[in-house]
Structure 1
C-alpha cells in the first residue's frame, strides 16, 4: 500500500469520526451554552429535570446490578456446561440487540397495561407496572441484558473448567469458585460489560417511551425529558439535558476504554514474563 493511499484512508477515517462522532456533541454543548452557563445550570434545577435525572440514575443502577448478576450466571452456565438447546439460549440472550426497543415496550404494555393480559388482575391489587417505575425497569433490563453475558462469555469459555474442578475437589462451594476462581480472571471483561450496560441504560429511549407513559416529573427519564423540552420549544433546557446525558455516556465509555487498555497492558506484561 502506497503512502498516499495510507494517508488518504487515515484522513477519511478522521473526517468521518469528526463529522459523525465529535461534531454532534460539540453542537449540543454549543446550543446548551447559547444563553450562558448560568442559564443552562438553572434549567437543570427545574423539578421535572431533577426528577428525570434521579429516575435515570435509579433505573441505571438497578438494571446494571440485576443484569450483572444474571449475565454472569448465564455466561457461566453456557460456558461451563454442554446441554440441549445451548445454542438457542445464546441466540435468545442476543435477541435484544436485534429487536427494536419499541417492540419490547409494546410487549410489556401488552402484558401489564390496563388493557393488557394481566392488567385487570394487577389493578385489583393496586399494582402498577406499566406507566410506572417497574415498567421502566423491565424495559431497561430487556435492552441491556446481553452486554454483560456476551462480554464475559468468550473469556469464560477460554478459561475452561480445570481450575474450577480442582477448587470443587478441595471443597469450595459454587459461590466461592465463582468469586475466587472464575471472576478474578474475567474482571476486566466483566467491568467492560458493566460499563456498556450503564451507557446503554442511561440512553434508552424507545422501550421506555412506550411503557412509561411519558408523565413529566413521574415517569420521564432524561431522554424522554429531552424530547418533552424540545417539543415544548425549550431548546436551551433540552440541549442542556442532552449535554449532561452525553457527558455521562462519554465518561462511561471513556472509563471502559481506559480499563480495556490497562487490561491489554497487563496481559502483554504477563506474556512477556512467561
Structure 2
C-alpha cells in the first residue's frame, strides 16, 4: 500500500509538474543556446523582461515591508477587527487575478475611476503604466510573506522579546537582534514565494497594463503574444527563463538552509 501511494504521488507530480516543465526547456533548447539567446535579445522581448524584473523587485520589497509589519501586528497585538483583517489577507488567494485587475481599473482608471481622474490631474497615471502593474502584482502576492511569517512568530512566542526589553533594549534593537533572527527563514521563504508569484503573474497584469508592446508588456504577456503570433521558439525561451529564475531561487534556499541549521 505504501509503495502504491508513493508511486501514485510521484507519478502525479511527474505528469503535472516535472514533465510539462521539462518539455518547455526541451523546446527552448532544441535549436541551440544561441538561437534561444537570439530570441531573448529581441528589443521587445528584452523590454518585457526588464519590465518584469523591475515590477518583481518593487512587488517583493513592498510585500516584504508590509508582510513583516502586518505579521507582527497580527501576532503581537490585539485590536478590534483583527480577525477581519486576517480573513481579508486571504482574499488574493481566493479571488481570480482577472477580478483583481478589473477592480483596480474601476478604482484607478483615469476616465471614470474613483481616484483616477484626480491622480491624472496631479500628473500620475496608474492604469496602463508601471504603477498599476506593481499594484496588481503586490495584491496577488500579498499573503505569501505573511502566511510564512505568522506561524513562526506564534511558535517562538515573545518571551525573548520581553526579556530584551526588560534589559533596556528599545523596539528597534529587539526587532533586529531577537525577532528577525528567529523568523529569518520564514522571511526568506516568503520572499522566494512572492518573487516566484510576481514573476509569473498574468491575469491581473494583463488587465491593468493594456499589454502595450514596448511599454507595458511584461514577460508573461510577451509569452502569450509571441506564441499566438507563431513565434513559438521565442515563447519557449521566455517561459524557460521565467521557470529557471523561480527554480534557481528555490534551489538556493534549499541548499543554504541545512548549512545554516548545522552551525
TM-score range, shorter chain: over 0.9
Comparing 159-168 with 211-220, which one deviates more in the overlay?
Answer: 159-168
Unaligned runs of 5+ in 1: none
Q: List, as ranges, runs of 4+ consecutive aligned residues in structure 1 with deviation greater than 3 Å.
A: 256-263
- Contact residue 64 and residue 194 of structure 1 kept, 8 A: yes
The alpha carbon displacement at 1:33 in A equals: 2.7
Any conservation in 2 of the 1:152–1:189 contact (CA below 8 Å)?
yes
Q: What is the aligned partner in structure 2 of residue 20 from structure 1?
A: 16
Is 1:159 aligned with 2:156? yes
Contact 2:109–2:127 (8 Å) recurs in 1: yes
Q: Report whether the alignment pairs 1:224 with 2:198.
A: no
What aligned pairs does 1:201-212 form with structure 2 within 5 A after superposition? 201-212=198-209
How many pairs align?
A: 262
User: Which residue pairs with 2:254 in the alignment?
Assistant: 257
1:6-155 paired onto structure 2 within 5 Å: 6-115=2-111, 116-155=113-152
The aligned counterpart of 2:237 is: 240
Using the alignment, how far apart are the partners of 1:30 and 1:157 within structure 2? 44
Shift in Å at residue 10 of structure 1? 1.7
Q: Is the partner of 2:89 in helix, strand or coil?
A: helix
Deviation at 1:41, TM superposition (A): 1.0
Residues 129, 192 of structure 1: CA spacing in aligned structure 2 closer, same or farther, 3 A cutoff?
same
CA contact (8 A) 2:110 2:125 kept: no
Alpha-carbon distance, 1:185 to partner:
0.9
**Cα deviation, residue 36, structure 1:** 2.7
CA deviations over 1:227-271 (Å, ceiling 9, x no partner):
1111111110111111111111111222343355556xx3xx79x
Per the alignment, residue 196 of structure 1 pairs with 193
Q: Give unmatched runs, 5+ long, in structure 2.
A: none
Distance 1:185 1:62 in 2: 25
Q: TM-score, normalised by structure 1?
A: 0.90
For 1:187 and 1:123, the matched residues in 2 are separated by 40
- Structure 2 distance, partners of 1:258, 1:104, is 35
Structure 1 stretch displaced more, 232-241 or 77-86? 77-86
Q: Secondary structure at the match of 1:186?
A: helix
Q: Distance in 1 between matches of 2:221 and 2:43?
A: 15
C-alpha distance in 1, partners of 2:14/2:67? 34
Deviation at 1:172, TM superposition (A): 2.0
8 Å CA contact 2:74, 2:82 repeated in 1: yes
The Cα RMSD (Å) is 1.7
